[in-house]
Amino acid sequence: MPSIDVCYSPELLHLYDLKGKAVVAVDILRATSTMVTAFANGVADIIPVMKLEECLVYAEQGCLTAAERDGVKAEGFDLGNSPFAYMSESIKGRTIAITTTNGTRAIRMSEAAEEIVVGSFLNLQTVAEHLAELQLDVLVVCAGWKGKFNLEDTLYAGALAERLQSQFEFENDATLASLYLYHAAKSDMVSFLRQSSHVQRLENLEIHKDIEFCLQHNVFNVLPVWKHDRLVDLNAKHSLV
Ligand code: 3SL
């Protein structure tokens, strides 16, 4: 039976052997929720990069560029990191190069894995079904915040563990803790997360509607997966679940 484990921060990745594993990279607020929304709205592919300068170079190749630092859209880029900015016709068929404070870092630091899947509550079931078919050991890599633990990514790990628990064994207590937290939170995640640090940070920036949007379950059946140097949607049709 394959296993599922949870890494609470990219800074802890040195403790894990990614070889032969499927990584689910997650940054619920908001990078991976935004990427899933972008694919659902017809983006062709997404190039996650770590640095602002690196991202800007892609403009010269005809890509749209997107950047966020500390919750705010960085100056000089086409887009920020709100999922609502990725619902326009103008992004259809485009390649987007994106850098965010933590989310794109979690993806790029997972490159040694056999497969990297981008997870969010928005495509939770689609990712769970894909992992069940894949039959690889799974590591959920939480983006956290600047190397530290966060609650919303942990809740996602718990939600995924709940869906996979009959077919995967739990590698250690990190998975169990995530599951227990998800059980405590799932009936009202918005309230559960009200005191959490990134929700507070986004609320202070008056970013309210993104929070509720990103906590919705199973809105899209997109399956963003790392191929060569970028993310593509393995479910070609982008149809709503
Ligand atoms: O940390 C990240 O990568 C971002 O998702 C943070 S924010 O939600 O855009 O503030």
| C-alpha 211 to ligand 1 mean position (Å) | 11
What size, in residues, is the chain?
241
Q: What is the pLDDT of residue 131?
A: 98
* Ligand 1 center from residue 35 Cα (angstroms): 12
Would you state the pLDDT for residue 238? 44
- For ligand 1, whether the C-beta of 29 sits within 6 Å is yes
220-to-30, 138, 216, 238 alpha-carbon distances in Å? 16, 21, 10, 7
Q: What is the pLDDT of residue 135?
A: 96
Q: Whose CA is nearest to atom 10 of ligand 1?
A: 71
Q: Is 144 in the pocket of ligand 1 (CB under 6 A)?
A: no
Is residue 103 in contact with ligand 1, taking CB distance under 6 Å?
Answer: yes
Peptide bond into 194 cis (omega under 30): no
Q: Is the CB–ligand 1 distance for residue 123 below 6 Å?
A: no
How many whole angstroms from 100 Cα to the centroid of ligand 1?
A: 6
Predicted confidence (pLDDT) per residue in 35-82, tens digit: 999 999 999 999 999 999 999 999 999 999 999 999 999 999 999 999
Work out which ligand 1 atom sits closest to the CA atom of 105. 3
* Domain spans, the chain: 3-233
Tokens 């309230």: give the residue.
191
Ligand 1 midpoint to CA 102 (Å): 6
pLDDT of residue 57: 97
Q: According to the model, what pLDDT value does residue 24 have?
A: 98
Instruction: Enter the pTM of the model.
Output: 0.96
Q: What pLDDT is stored for residue 213 in this prediction?
A: 98
| Token pair belonging to 56 | 């800007």
Question: For the chain, how long is the longest CA-to-CA vector?
Answer: 48
Is residue 128 within 8 Å of 78, Cβ to Cβ? no
Ligand 1 centre from 154 Cα, in Å?
A: 15
The four Cα atoms 181, 84, 115, 238 give a dihedral, to 10 degrees, of 110
Which of these, 37, 33, 28, 72, lies nearest to 206 by C-alpha position?
A: 72
What atom of ligand 1 comes closest to residue 104's alpha carbon?
3
Q: Which atom of ligand 1 is nearest to the CA of 82?
A: 9
| Ranges in the chain, pLDDT < 50 | 238-241
What local confidence, expressed as pLDDT, does residue 239 receive? 40
Beta bridge partners of 139: 5, 23
Domain 3-233: CATH superfamily, name plus number: ComB-like (3.90.1560.10)
Q: Is residue 102 lining ligand 1, measured as CB closer than 6 Å?
A: yes
